[in-house]
Structure 1
Amino acid sequence: MSSSPAVLTRRRGSIDVVDAKVAVDLATAQTYSENVFLFVPNLIGYARIILAALSLHYMTYHPKYCTVLYCISCLLDAFDGHAARALGQSSKFGAVLDMVTDRCTTTSLLCYLTSAYPEWALGFQFLIALDFSSHYMHMNSSLVTGSKSHKQVQSDVSRLLRAYYNPTTLFIVCAGNELFYIALYLMKWVHTPLSESLGPVGFVGAYTWPELMAWVCGPICAYKNVINLVQLWKASKILVGVDLAERAKAREEEALRTKRD
């Protein structure tokens, strides 16, 4: 193998990993024409972060601004992937940036909900922990098995996860999950029943529109968290399987060395 810094690699399981120092040097020396930081999907990611930050700024005192900014930030999540594929600008940095932005944005809203609904604080804390742990474990299991994307799940590993990571299903479930949390947020601000604003509308008139949105999106949120549990369990099994395979290989190599000696 060539000793050029650009091709220096070390083996870790089934993945060729660029040496960390070489990677830092490459990122520092990248040209404008091939600057991963400035890829269009990543610029969309930065815009999402700014919008999410502004949403958090307004969260405690201006629900309209907060909701609009939060929803735009979430909707942009549907465009960065399309931009990456259309422009040939898919990147590991972009994939991680997207996931971290999603997790941090949702967690920030859940943190607010723990104060808005103190009696449900433990439940919201559990959802935060489950969301982070399942995605962290899943990302790591994807890396150690050489997958190009954490969204590529084989049906023989989990038919449920493979179906979930279908782009259409993923969008619907993630949107419904976020809308449920937004509905809980708005329920603290909107108290006018639909019957007072729209007139006679049947039994639903006794509810506010955020309450109705919560009832509609609640099952989607529940499904999303079932997916998180399955994802956590499958990722744990994959990592344990890799551990067992590596330990078996180490024992075989030790036995061969002992036999030669």
Structure 2
Amino acid sequence: MSSNTTPEKVTAEHVLWYIPNKIGYVRVITAALSFFVMKNHPTAFTWLYTTSCLLDALDGTMARKYNQVSSLGAVLDMVTDRSSTAGLMCFLCVQYPQWCVFFQLMLGLDITSHYMHMYASLSAGKTSHKSVGEGESRLLHLYYTRRDVLFTICAFNELFYAGLYLQLFSNSATFGKWTTIISFPGYVFKQTANVVQLKRAALILADNDAKNANEKNKAN
């Protein structure tokens, strides 16, 4: 039996109900539910938030397996990632007011770098923001082409914030402390990747603008 389940004539409704997109909807629901229990129920929050994060590794696999790769799925995946992390960081800003500016800066870097990188990649004619050649950036090439590296670094990034969250509760404070310490190197790698992709995106957009300006000048 073929793994390609896409019908001959694909409609918008088909795309909306692609298997990976269904997984994406579950990610949104579990992430949203985790916000409601975040303040007083750390165990429930951990299960819901972890489920949303782990499903992130499943939707891409299902998209490739069933030939159901879509722009909707790619955007849904990215905004769910950014939104779920942002929700957790908002809570941490309240609980760690002395680190509020740091969290704000990291959140701004996360959102800005991913949005600009996706927009720049699509503007340059690439089918995905994950299409990065080794000659363009070794770090981003490693980060985006090796699924094991991408999953591990993203997991460490989430674990760093989750560790800070768990330290707020007496029965999980020690575990949270060690989670934060162990995940810190991966967290630093992730923020470095964000800076690199932000710089790359700015250069791509500036290069496109320069080409468009030159073509306009020639036409005049």
With normalisation by structure 2, the TM-score equals 0.92
Q: How has the CA–CA distance of structure 1 residues 189 and 160 changed in structure 2, closer, same or farther, with 3 Å as cutoff?
A: same
Shifted more, 245-254 versus 115-124: the winner is 245-254
- Deviation of 1:192 after TM superposition, in Å, equals 6.7
Report whether the alignment pairs 1:69 with 2:48. yes
Shifted more, 148-157 versus 183-192: the winner is 183-192
Question: Any stretches of 5+ residues in structure 2 without a counterpart?
Answer: 1-9
Q: What is the identity, as a one-letter code, of the residue corresponding to 1:128?
A: L
Q: What is the identity, as a one-letter code, of the residue corresponding to 1:84?
A: A
The 2-side partners of 1:91 and 1:60 are apart by 35
1:175-202 Cα deviation digits (max 9, x unpaired)? 0110111000000013577xxxxxxxxx
1:84-108 Cα deviation digits (max 9, x unpaired)? 0000000001000000000000000
- Please say if residues 160 and 187 of structure 2, whose CA atoms lie closer than 8 Å, have aligned partners that are also in contact: yes
- Please say if residues 190 and 210 of structure 1, whose CA atoms lie closer than 8 Å, have aligned partners that are also in contact: no
1:172 aligns with: 152
1:58 aligns with: 37
Report whether the alignment pairs 1:226 with 2:192. yes
1:44 aligns with: 23
1:156 aligns with: 135
2:170 aligns with: 190
Equivalent residue for 2:88, pick from 85, 88, 109: 109
- Deviation of 1:253 after TM superposition, in Å, equals 1.6
- Deviation of 1:252 after TM superposition, in Å, equals 1.3
Give % identity: 44
When Rg is computed on C-alpha atoms for both structures, the one with the higher figure is 1
Report whether the alignment pairs 1:118 with 2:92. no
1:213-261 Cα deviation digits (max 9, x unpaired)? 110001111110011011101100110000001111111122xxxxxxx
- Deviation of 1:30 after TM superposition, in Å, equals 2.9
Query: Please, what is the CA RMSD of the aligned residues?
Result: 1.4
Question: Any stretches of 5+ residues in structure 1 without a counterpart?
Answer: 1-28, 194-207, 255-261
The 1-side partners of 2:148 and 2:166 are apart by 26
Q: How has the CA–CA distance of structure 1 residues 31 and 113 changed in structure 2, closer, same or farther, with 3 Å as cutoff?
A: closer
Q: What is the identity, as a one-letter code, of the residue corresponding to 1:47?
A: V
- Please say if residues 166 and 172 of structure 2, whose CA atoms lie closer than 8 Å, have aligned partners that are also in contact: no
2:180 aligns with: 214
The 2-side partners of 1:192 and 1:137 are apart by 37
1:93 aligns with: 72
User: SS where residue 170 of structure 2 aligns?
Assistant: coil
User: SS where residue 147 of structure 1 aligns?
Assistant: coil
